[in-house]
Amino acid sequence: MVHAAFPVDPAVLLPFLVAVSLIELTPGPNMGWLALVALGRGRIAGMAAVAGVTLGLTAWMVAAAFGLTTVLLTFPGLYQAVRWAGVAFLLWLAWEAWAGAGKVAPDAEPDRRTLGGLFLRGLTGNLLNPKAAVFYVALLPTFIRPDRASPLVQALTLGGLHVAVSVAVHTLIVLGAASAGAVVMRRMQGVVAGRAMAAGIAAVAVWMAWTTRA
């Protein structure tokens, strides 16, 4: 018998939330990049990046719920292509930060163009992170129960909860890094701060290459 009152089994909610919270609190490329953006450009810029990351994560979640990410995992060559495109994209961001070091004042308020660019960078970086696909394919099925709503509805419900947890964690990272940046960036020269951020993003690229290896 299917229970229509609630789409997922209430008994799986707490274990699921604990699992995704621990995963989100584990240092990873998204966390590192968002912290660097907030540290170097402030809270508003960091939240624009969070919005892009969230949309990218949501796209992976929906694709996984409809079974589309199995294509990525079925063909190792495709997985590797996406993986290395993501690494290359982060290295390009690192070069961009290096070349632009000293051109942006630490206290400057980001304009719409800057915020839009950070949103697109967050979106693109997350769409090129195949680890999100692996996460949903591996985790969601273990919390889906046959006596509840359809697997699609359960996957979308649980995936939506994970996205909400990720937004909360990423927001806390941005707020914390922005507060630290208000102190750190005032003590560093513009060029030094920009190049330190570039080195940090390059480290995130290496981090992503390591954590997404098959």
Q: Alpha helices, DSSP H only, in 66-189?
A: 69-74, 76-99, 112-127, 131-139, 151-184
CB 207 within 8 A of CB 25: no
Tokens 């953006």, residue? 37
Residue 78's pLDDT is what?
86
pLDDT at res. 181: 67
What confidence score (pLDDT) does residue 213 get? 75
Q: Is residue 1 pLDDT above 50, yes or no?
A: no
Task: Report pLDDT digits (tens) over 69-108.
Answer: 888 778 888 888 888 998 898 898 888 877 766 555 555 5
Are the C-beta atoms of residues 180 and 39 closer than 8 Å to each other? Answer: yes
> Residue 105 is inside which H or E element, if any?
none
Is 56:122 a contact under the CB 8 Å cutoff?
Answer: yes
Query: Among candidates 149, 154, 131, 161, which has minimal Cα distance to 21?
Result: 161
Q: How far apart are CA 207 and CA 135, in angstroms?
A: 17
Q: How confident is residue 166, by pLDDT bands cut at 50, 70 and 90?
A: very high
3-class DSSP state of 146 = coil
Least confident stretch, 32-41, 125-134, 190-199: 190-199
DSSP string, 9-27: -HHHHHHHHHHHHHHHHS-
Mean pLDDT, residues 14-30 taken together? 88
pLDDT of 190 > 80? The answer is no
Give the Å distances, CA to CA, from 195 to 111, 118, 126, 135, 200: 22, 18, 23, 33, 8
Average pLDDT in the chain: 84
Burial class (CB in 10 A: 0-12, 13-18, 19+), 2: exposed
Note the pLDDT tens digit of each residue in 43-66. 999 999 999 999 999 999 999 889
